[in-house]
Amino acid sequence: MIQWWCTALARPWSWQWIPYPGIWAASIIPLIVYGRSLVRHDGPTDPKKAAQFVAGMFVFWLASDWPLGALGAGYLASAHMTQYLLYTLVAAPLLLLGTPEWMARNFTRRLRVERMTKWLGRNPIATGLIYNAILLSTHAPATVEVLRNSQWGSFAMDVVWIVAGFLLWLPVISPFSDGRASSTWAKMGYLFVTTSVVAVIPASFLTFTSIPIYGIYELAPRIGSLTALEDQQLAGIIMKIATVPVIWSTIAVLWFRWSAREAQLV
């Protein structure tokens, strides 16, 4: 059977490279569409935005493809968690920052989701609730067991994670100038609450539980000396710690920009 997307494999881990053409296509096609849109656009091109979009697609590929994608799909809960954080905290914001407003409008109008996208950006409470619902549901043992055991399921989980990342950052850095939270303080509060309150539940459960909760990772062939429980605890620690520098650095940037604007008004 051709492996087009990373999924759980019932065989010992090997560092032998495995090709995943579906991941390559998902990483290259958006770059082609992005480049063609820039060529066809009459206005000026922002090199910084283009670089951010390319960087976002690179991180998406890095998180999806071999070896991290294969490790996360069926061997290590810690790799699974690393994938999630790369999608939501790195790839998604870079893609949003790299998308010009005119391109975002064209894209969302074709999909007929422009109004919904703006509404989500202007309503951080609703967006935060949806994001955390995705967080809890995609890390529930039953969900992981079902989705990671098939290529389509693993693909669906990765897509949902990148969508969750877009949702997380829409109120803060939406490409739409009229589709963000109303104030800097609302953005800072939103980021803190959305990423720090509900996320404590799965992170603490993974870190402090005394038994492995993911059968797919517990029964997978071991890699090195890391036990299934230690791997799960590492996943919880990664979930707790990795969010802090990204979110608090963003909050700090928002605060300093707000402070600079206020100083100019004095």
208-222 tens-digit pLDDT: 988 999 999 999 999
**How many whole angstroms separate alpha carbon 126 and alpha carbon 118?**
12
29-51 tens-digit pLDDT: 999 999 999 999 988 889 999 99
Asked whether the predicted pLDDT for residue 266 surpasses 80, the reply is: no
137-183 tens-digit pLDDT: 999 999 999 999 999 999 999 999 999 999 999 999 999 999 999 89
Query: If 0-12 CB within 10 Å is exposed, 13-18 middle and 19+ buried, where does residue 54 land?
Result: middle
Confidence bin at 1 (pLDDT 50/70/90)? low
Q: What are the residues whose beta carbons fall under 8 Å from the beta carbon of 194, sequence distance 6 or more?
A: 124, 127, 128, 131, 132, 168
Asked whether the predicted pLDDT for residue 86 surpasses 60, the reply is: yes
Give the single-character DSSP code of 43: S
Q: Alpha carbon of 163 to those of 130, 224, 235: distances in Å?
A: 11, 33, 21
For the chain, the domains span 21-265
What global pTM score does this model have?
0.94
Q: What are phi and psi of 145, to 5 degrees?
A: -60, -40
Question: What pLDDT shows up at residue 57?
Answer: 98
